[in-house]
């Protein structure tokens, strides 16, 4: 008899679960937030049977007020509470729904963290993100920049990124919906402490059709501006509305909402907090549709509008260096991405530069941004992205990618100097995800193709730096280089060499697949490699490999060990002694 | 007298048509000749491009990864091109591209080979109603063939 009762109970439980409505709650179960951090709370019920007869939504046992109820379709119901926040501590949100099939329940737990008031807290944060700059990328850049002493095999030194730090960590990455991160969700995790979907910026998942209406999560930059009145800015070598810069204050399910992201930078949409300093490429999202080259679908002219809003506008290196910025600075230096450092500083090929022959270096933009932002005595948050590292790792163009790491390193050197003379400044250097790049040998440039690769002792030591460019950087042209490859590739032709005029590794086969670029395959020594990615992959891809993190200045001791990318957000808040629920705007 | 002028008119047209058939009236146009400059404030069409607006031109390039399987139009690029789906949700097109529109009822075969396009040039910002694709320079193709 007891066995029969157990069987009936098990059957009832099974049927109960089969009939129950599905309930999703955001913030998701297990989310950690900063106490006082704003977010849009959203509850979505689907597969409701018949009518929704009753519901009860409680936070820590108390009915939750202010919920807006909607329905996206038959058998669905949603509740939204925009601009919610939590007090410090553990919280439980419970949802109980009754439909024709009975009651469905869902319970999630959240942790709202608060920070100790520090005797010495950071007021300013400069966050460097080398896009795609995993440990191996950084390692390859150091080998090029510093090399080894051939007398004893000792390395000649470290990059600026790797020297004189007060904290160092290895960072694991991932997305809400995949263990491989993309730039949008990884940067969002760093800025909000939440896991975010691939291609999404600072929003939780939802069943909404409008990508801009998704439940938003407040970023650290937005909070610092809202609560402390700090200034916020972004500097990058990519087009300005790209994922990493957009992680400062953009909120959308689709990182490709470029026009809306450009508008959010000026305080339109999102939570409405504008950026004070913007220096980047990609003017096509800021000029009106009627102008040839624009990517906008309306007549907004942000170059003209920005000046009415009090921004100093600059469009060349000369203008930037001559500018005496007030607290608002807006610079557009290319219609699209910057060409790589090697294109701008070394090769200077007209095919790569076009009319853009007067562009600033990343370290110059960083310095100018800090000059403008530091006019605000309430502090600042600046993100500096070495954005083209990733964009050249994707097509396996490692020389362009690695020299852009060196450009980032020079910018970090400047920021370290700033932090040394401004002891209220925290400098962090990290990445958003890695690529499958690896240095596995030396390369003898007097030979061609595979014949030039030397492994183990045959690799000898690279001779980069025997010739230097005007900035004192090693030239790529040397007798002994490094042999570099990628673990994840499409079919492509390998030559082990860079090329002054960029070429894609693959071209479309016209049927949804990609084949090795025949122009590359014709180069001396080129040999075809069979890829290991699906044939519809045109390029290399991000990896699950961990990333480096180095911290300098006040609060840098909070960054250590093996941490998840979401933890970077909480450690920055810790270093800032930041408690948005306590500090009154 | 009027009849004579009309005949002369038709004769002139026939003469132009003859040259067009021989391929002599098609001006060759290079990718590097499309724009006089590209600045942060936008793209400036070159005097040569503007002078050829409405005329028959010949361009050589590569077919970009097609946006749809049936190619009643495609994008002609200066160099072989692959898009990067994970870098960005929108294709990062280079600025120097030309939209090629096939004659009504005709389609092009997807190809990875270098191609030559002959047709009427149209210059100016135009949005395709069905795809939302915005183009600056278009060729209404008469012929699409493998380049020699």
pTM: 0.90
The Cα angle at residue A269 between residues A264 and A275, in degrees rounded to 5: 30
| B95–A507 C-beta distance less than 8 A | no
The predicted structure's pLDDT at residue A282: 96
Q: Of A292, A332, A515, which has the smallest distance from its Cβ to B40's Cβ?
A: A332
Per residue in B97-124, pLDDT (tens digit) is 899 999 988 988 877 788 999 999 999 8
Cβ(A570)–Cβ(A526) below 8 Å: no
The predicted structure's pLDDT at residue B94: 64
d(CA A29, CA A23): 12
Cβ(A488)–Cβ(A533) below 8 Å: yes
Dihedral over Cα of A335, A341, A345, A351: its sign: negative
d(CA A569, CA A189): 7
Per residue in A394-444, pLDDT (tens digit) is 999 999 999 999 999 999 999 999 999 999 999 999 999 999 999 999 999
| A511–B38 C-beta distance less than 8 A | no
- Where would I find the beta strands (DSSP E) of A347-490? 380-386, 425-431, 434-435, 437-444, 453-454, 480-486
The pLDDT confidence band at residue A513, using thresholds 50, 70 and 90, is confident
| B39–A335 C-beta distance less than 8 A | yes
Interface membership of A566 toward B (CB under 8 Å): no
Mean pLDDT in residue range A243-266 = 96
Query: Taking 60 as the threshold, does the pLDDT of residue A192 lie above it?
Result: yes
Mean pLDDT in residue range A495-517 = 89
Dihedral over Cα of B94, B98, B102, B108: its sign: negative
Q: How far away is chain B from the Cα of A207, in angstroms, using its nearest Cα? A: 19
Nearest chain A residue to B92, by CA:
A336
Query: Taking 50 as the threshold, does the pLDDT of residue B7 lie above it?
Result: no
The pLDDT confidence band at residue A206, using thresholds 50, 70 and 90, is very high
Q: Of A335, A519, A539, which has the smallest distance from its Cβ to B40's Cβ?
A: A335
User: With contacts defined as CB-CB under 8 Å, which chain B residues touch A291?
Assistant: 41-43, 125
3-class secondary structure, A456: helix
Q: What is the ipTM of this complex?
A: 0.84
Pairing of the two strands A437-444 and A453-454: antiparallel
3-class secondary structure, B39: strand
Scanning chain B, the segments in alpha helix (DSSP H) are 2-22, 47-52
Per residue in A266-319, pLDDT (tens digit) is 999 888 999 999 999 999 999 998 888 888 889 999 999 999 999 999 999 999
User: With contacts defined as CB-CB under 8 Å, which chain B residues touch A356?
Assistant: 38
- Residue A216 is classified by DSSP as B
3-class secondary structure, A136: helix
Mean pLDDT in residue range A149-178 = 97
The pLDDT confidence band at residue B93, using thresholds 50, 70 and 90, is low
Query: Taking 80 as the threshold, does the pLDDT of residue A111 lie above it?
Result: yes
* Longest CA–CA separation in chain A, Å: 90
Which of A436, A508, A534 best tests the B interface by mutation, with the highest count of B CBs <10 A? Answer: A508
The pLDDT confidence band at residue B83, using thresholds 50, 70 and 90, is low
């Amino acid at each position: 008899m007891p066995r029969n009762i157990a069987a009936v109970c098990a059957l009832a439980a099974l049927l109960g679960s089969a009939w129950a409505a599905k309930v999703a709650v955001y913030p998701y179960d297990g989310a950690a937030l900063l106490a006082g951090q704003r977010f849009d709370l959203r509850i979505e019920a689907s597969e409701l049977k018949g009518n929704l007869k009753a519901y009860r939504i409680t936070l820590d046992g108390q009915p939750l007020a202010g919920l807006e109820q909607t329905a996206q379709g038959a058998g669905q119901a949603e509740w939204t509470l925009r601009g919610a926040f939590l007090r410090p501590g553990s919280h439980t949100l419970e949802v109980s729904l009754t439909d024709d099939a009975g009651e469905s329940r869902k319970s999630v737990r959240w942790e709202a963290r608060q920070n100790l008031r520090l005797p010495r807290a950071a007021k300013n944060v400069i966050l460097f993100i080398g896009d795609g700059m995993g440990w191996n990328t950084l390692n390859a850049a150091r080998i090029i920049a510093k090399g080894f002493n051939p007398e004893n095999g000792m390395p000649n030194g470290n990059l600026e990124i790797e020297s004189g730090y007060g904290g160092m960590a290895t960072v694991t990455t991932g997305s809400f919906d995949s263990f491989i991160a993309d730039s949008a969700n990884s940067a969002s995790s760093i800025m909000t402490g939440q896991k975010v979907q691939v291609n999404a910026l600072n929003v939780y998942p939802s069943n909404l059709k409008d990508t801009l209406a998704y439940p938003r999560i407040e970023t650290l930059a937005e909070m610092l501006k809202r609560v402390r009145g700090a200034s916020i800015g972004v500097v990058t070598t990519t087009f300005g509305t790209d994922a990493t810069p957009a992680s400062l204050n953009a909120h959308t399910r689709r990182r490709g909402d470029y026009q809306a992201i450009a508008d959010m930078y000026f305080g339109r949409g999102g939570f409405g907090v504008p950026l004070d300093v913007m220096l980047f490429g990609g003017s096509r999202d800021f000029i009106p549709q009627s102008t040839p080259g624009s990517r906008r679908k309306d007549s907004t002219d942000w170059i003209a509008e920005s000046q009415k809003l009090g921004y100093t506008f600059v469009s060349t290196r000369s203008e930037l260096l001559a500018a005496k910025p007030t607290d608002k600075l807006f610079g557009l230096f290319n219609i699209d991405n910057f060409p790589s450092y090697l294109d701008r500083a070394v090769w200077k090929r007209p095919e790569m530069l076009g009319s853009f022959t007067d562009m600033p270096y990343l370290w110059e933009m960083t310095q100018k941004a800090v000059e403008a932002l530091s006019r605000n005595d309430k502090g600042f948050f600046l993100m500096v992205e070495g954005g083209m590292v990733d964009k050249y790792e994707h097509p396996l163009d490692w020389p362009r990618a690695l020299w852009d790491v060196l450009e980032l390193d020079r910018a970090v050197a400047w920021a370290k100097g700033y932090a040394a003379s401004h002891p209220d400044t925290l400098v962090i250097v990290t990445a958003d995800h890695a690529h499958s790049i690896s240095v596995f040998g030396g390369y003898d440039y007097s030979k061609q193709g595979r014949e030039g690769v030397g492994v183990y002792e045959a690799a000898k030591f690279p001779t980069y730096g025997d010739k230097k460019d005007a900035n004192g950087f090693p030239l790529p042209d040397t007798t002994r280089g490094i042999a570099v490859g990628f673990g994840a590739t499409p079919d492509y032709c390998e030559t082990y060499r860079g090329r002054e005029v960029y070429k894609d590794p693959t071209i479309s086969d016209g049927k949804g697949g990609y084949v090795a670029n025949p122009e590359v395959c014709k180069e001396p020594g080129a040999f075809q490699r069979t890829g290991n990615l699906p044939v519809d992959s045109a390029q290399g891809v991000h990896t699950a490999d961990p990333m480096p993190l180095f911290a300098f200045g006040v609060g840098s001791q909070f960054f250590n060990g093996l941490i998840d990318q979401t933890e970077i957000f909480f450690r920055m808040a810790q270093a800032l002694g930041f408690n948005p629920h306590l500090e009154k705007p | 007298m009027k009849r004579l002028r009309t005949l002369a008119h038709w004769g002139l047209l026939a003469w132009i048509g003859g040259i067009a058939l021989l391929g002599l009236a098609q001006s060759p146009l290079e990718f590097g000749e499309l724009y006089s400059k590209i600045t942060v404030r936008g793209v400036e069409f070159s005097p040569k491009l503007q002078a050829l607006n409405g005329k028959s031109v010949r361009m050589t390039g590569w077919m970009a990864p097609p946006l749809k399987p049936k190619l009643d139009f495609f994008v002609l690029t200066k160099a072989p091109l692959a898009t990067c789906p994970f870098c960005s949700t929108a294709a990062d097109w280079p600025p120097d591209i030309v939209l090629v529109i096939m004659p009504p009822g005709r389609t092009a075969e997807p190809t990875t080979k270098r191609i030559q396009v002959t047709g009427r040039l149209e210059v100016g910002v135009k949005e395709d109603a069905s795809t939302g694709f915005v183009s600056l320079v278009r060729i209404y193709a008469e012929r699409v063939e493998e380049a020699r």
